C-alpha cells in the first residue's frame, strides 16, 4: 500500500487551503504529501496545441509554487507533485489508490438553497473508498490549516442502530493523532405528536434519551479501551442529524461523517446527512466510506 496523503490542486483558494491542511496532517502521520493537478489539455484524438502546452506550463508552475510554499512553512515535509492530462475526477481517484486519504478544497454553499456539491468533488467521493477530506478556504479553515485550532476536538456522527467500524476507527485515530477530544454525537427524533400538547410526556422522553445514551456509551466502550488517551464526550441529542452535527462541529478541528458504499447506479450515494454537512460546515469534513 502506498501510504501517502493526496491533494487535488487546481489553483483555487479552497485547494490551497486543502494543501496546507493536508501538509499538517502528513507531518502528524509521518507520511509524504502528493499534490495532483489534473485537467484535459487537449481534446481526444487532437494533437498538442499552443493552448495545451500553455496549460501544461501553467500546471507545472502552479505545482512548483505550491510545493515551495509548503516546504517554506514545513521544511521537514516530504512533498511530490504530479500533473495529469485527463478527467480530474478519474485522475484524482487513480492517484488516491492505496493512499491514506484524499484531500480536496470545497466551496460549499453556506445557505439552505440546494445542495449542489461540485461535480469533481462529488465524482471523486463516489469513486474512492479511502477517506476524503473536504476543506474550505474560510477564516476558520485557515486557522485549521495553520494549526491554530478552535475547540480542539473531532466530532463524529454515530448511528447506534448501524455500528460502523471504519467510521469510529478513523475518528478515534484522528483524535489520538491530534491529541484532542472526540465528541461522538447520536441524534434521535421524537415520535410524531410526542413533542407537543397532551401527547408530550417528559418522563417517557427522558427514559428514551437515557436508553439511547446507554446504547451509545456501550457501543463506544471498546474503542475507548483501545484509545485510552483520547478524551471522549458521548452525547445524545434530539433533532435533525445534520443540524446537530453542524452546531457541534462549528469550531471543531474536523467533522467525521459516513457514507454507505452503494454498488447500484441509482439512489442517493453519499446520503443526506453527509451531503448537508459538506455544504454547510466551516470546519474540514472527512467522509468515510463503509459497507
113: pLDDT confidence band, cut at 50, 70 and 90? very low
Same domain assignment for residues 227 and 245? yes
Residues 120 and 177 in one domain: no
Whether pLDDT at 267 is above 80: no
Confidence of residue 209 (pLDDT cuts 50, 70, 90): confident
> Domain boundary residue among 129, 148, 167?
148
Does residue 47 register a pLDDT over 60? no
pLDDT in tens, 91-103: 999 999 999 999 9
Whether residue 43 is found in the same domain as residue 125? yes
pLDDT of residue 199: 52
Domain boundary among 92, 116, 148: 148
Does position 149 have pLDDT exceeding 70, yes or no? Answer: no
Specify the higher pLDDT residue, 235 or 107.
235
- Considering 93, 118, 148, which residue would you say is the last residue of a domain? 148
**What residue numbers bound the domain in which 65 lies?**
1-148
Of 13 and 196, the one with more pLDDT = 13
Query: Does 59 lie in the same domain as 164?
Result: no
Q: Write down the pLDDT at residue 12.
A: 87
Residue 283 and residue 192 share a domain: yes
Is 117's pLDDT higher than 70?
Answer: no
How many domains does the chain contain in total? Answer: 2
For the sheet containing 153-157, what is the strand order? 79-85, 33-39, 5-8, 101-105, 132-135, 285-290, 254-260, 153-157, 181-188, 232-238
CATH number at residue 275: 3.40.50.620
Amino acid at each position: 500500500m502506498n501510504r501517502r496523503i493526496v491533494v487535488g490542486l487546481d489553483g483555487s483558494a479552497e485547494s490551497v487551503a486543502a494543501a496546507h491542511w493536508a501538509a499538517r496532517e502528513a507531518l502528524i502521520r509521518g507520511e509524504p504529501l502528493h499534490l495532483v493537478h489534473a485537467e484535459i489539455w487537449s481534446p481526444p484524438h487532437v494533437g498538442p496545441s499552443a493552448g495545451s502546452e500553455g496549460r501544461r506550463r501553467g500546471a507545472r508552475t502552479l505545482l512548483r509554487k505550491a510545493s515551495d510554499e509548503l516546504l517554506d512553512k514545513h521544511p521537514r515535509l516530504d512533498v511530490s507533485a504530479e500533473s495529469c492530462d485527463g478527467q480530474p475526477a478519474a485522475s484524482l481517484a487513480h492517484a488516491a489508490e492505496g493512499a491514506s486519504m484524499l484531500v480536496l478544497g470545497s466551496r460549499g454553499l453556506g445557505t439552505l438553497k440546494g445542495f449542489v456539491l461540485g461535480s469533481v468533488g462529488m465524482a471523486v467521493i463516489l469513486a474512492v473508498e479511502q477517506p476524503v477530506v473536504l476543506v474550505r478556504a474560510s477564516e476558520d479553515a485557515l486557522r485549521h490549516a495553520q494549526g491554530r485550532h478552535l475547540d480542539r476536538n473531532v466530532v463524529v456522527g454515530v448511528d447506534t442502530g448501524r455500528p460502523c467500524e471504519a467510521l469510529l476507527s478513523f475518528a478515534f485515530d484522528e483524535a489520538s493523532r491530534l491529541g484532542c477530544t472526540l465528541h461522538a454525537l447520536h441524534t434521535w427524533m421524537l415520535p410524531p405528536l410526542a413533542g407537543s400538547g397532551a401527547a408530550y410526556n417528559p418522563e417517557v422522553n427522558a427514559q428514551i434519551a437515557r436508553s439511547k445514551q446507554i446504547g451509545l456509551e456501550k457501543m463506544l466502550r471498546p474503542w475507548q479501551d483501545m484509545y485510552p488517551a483520547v478524551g471522549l464526550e458521548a452525547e445524545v441529542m434530539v433533532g435533525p442529524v445534520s443540524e446537530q452535527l453542524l452546531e457541534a462541529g462549528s469550531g471543531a478541528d474536523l467533522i467525521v461523517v459516513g457514507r454507505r458504499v452503494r454498488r447500484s447506479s441509482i439512489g442517493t450515494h453519499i446520503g443526506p446527512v453527509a451531503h448537508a454537512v459538506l455544504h454547510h460546515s466551516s470546519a474540514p469534513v472527512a467522509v468515510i466510506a463503509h459497507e
